Structure 1
Amino acid sequence: MSQPDAKPDPSDQEVVAFRVAGQDFCFDIMSVREIRGWTQTTTLPHAQSYVKGVINLRGNVVPVVDLADRLGFGATDPSERHVIIIAVVEGQTIGLLADVVSDILSVQNDAMHPVPDMVSDRVKAFISGVLLVDERMIRKLDLSRVVPASGVEAA
């Protein structure tokens, strides 16, 4: 009797799913370095409104982006229930403030659907696709657009 092959299909991708402002989002798990509880930030004067501030991560200064504010849902009033997803985006380590991390999902590429043409270019700038998982629709973030490499706005 043969056993099913346990190797992941190369067409699969793993994503970390999380909630922001009651909405489901995800991005490639290979960008994630760690997930930590909310840590008070140090405010930076004249930073973009969606930058909550910076934290000390083992001797490194890491900016924390409020994803709700960046995505247009309004600023988050963080509490001990929130999480900071530490990610690397184009070589830069950043913290992403989210409500909760809900899942790590292995999904087939054919489960990822394109963003509908009817939505605005601003939406398309941040969202690279829509993932259908059970009864949920999870938007996949393009982190390189959510967190611009320089101080210039991406969208």
Structure 2
Amino acid sequence: MHRELITFEVSGQIFALDIMAIREIRAWTPVTPMPRVPHYVAGVVNLRGTVLPVIDLAARLGWGATEATPRHAIIVCQVHGQAQGLIVDSVSDIVTMQSENLQAPPTAGQDEVVPFIEGLAAIEDRMVMVLDLPALSSSGDVAIAA
């Protein structure tokens, strides 16, 4: 079975998300910080009258906070019936892969990242980490910001 993925970069690494979970890709918009949210929740933005919580994906993966610039983007995803944004360095392209080519993530190293990885895929001579979007949002902490 074919899967379409959107690839993007975070902290020099290539990631992908299933295109069916993505509602839109927005240019960088400054976020409004919220009190008492986890360190990886950058804040919220107004998305056509709706409060959209925005996750700093680099911080969520344990790589430190992103110093966002106008070159960054926000990928708006639908997770558990709620829209949320992910700050990424840049969005690359749409790729198609066979589901059976997705390999399990390694069990050693990068303990903070592996729980959020659905699998690894070799796409166009590069290794791409396919994110498990529900796992990224598994805690109720993001819902608090909304």
Tell me the TM-score normalized by structure 1: 0.86
Deviations 1:46-98 (A, max 9, x none): 11101110000000000000000100111001000000000001111000000
Q: Assess if the C-alpha contact under 8 Å between 1:33 and 1:88 holds in 2.
A: yes
Match of residue 37 from structure 2: 47
Match of residue 18 from structure 1: 8
Structure 2: tracts of 5 or more residues without a match: none
Match of residue 148 from structure 1: 138
Match of residue 66 from structure 2: 76
Within 5 Å, which residues of 2 pair with 1:85-104? 85-104=75-94
Partner Cα separation in structure 2 for residue 134 and residue 60 of structure 1? 37
Match of residue 134 from structure 1: 124
Partner Cα separation in structure 1 for residue 42 and residue 109 of structure 2? 28
Match of residue 107 from structure 1: 97
Match of residue 22 from structure 2: 32
Partner Cα separation in structure 2 for residue 65 and residue 116 of structure 1? 25
- Deviates further, 61-70 or 114-123: 114-123
Match of residue 3 from structure 1: none
Partner Cα separation in structure 2 for residue 120 and residue 76 of structure 1? 19
Aligned length: 142
Residue 147 of structure 1, CA deviation? 1.7
Partner Cα separation in structure 2 for residue 65 and residue 148 of structure 1? 13
Match of 1:60 among 38, 50, 55: 50
Q: Name the aligned partner's letter for residue 137 of structure 1.
A: M
State which structure, 1 or 2, has the greater radius of gyration over its C-alpha atoms. Answer: 1
Structure 1: tracts of 5 or more residues without a match: 1-10
- Deviates further, 39-48 or 109-118: 109-118
Residue 109 of structure 1, CA deviation? 1.3
- Deviates further, 87-96 or 123-132: 123-132
The secondary structure found in structure 2 opposite 1:110 is helix
| Structure with greater contact order relative to length (CA < 8 Å, sep ≥ 6) | 2
Q: Name the aligned partner's letter for residue 61 of structure 2.
A: L
In the alignment, structure 1 residue 117 sits paired with structure 2 residue 107: yes
Q: Name the aligned partner's letter for residue 52 of structure 1.
A: A
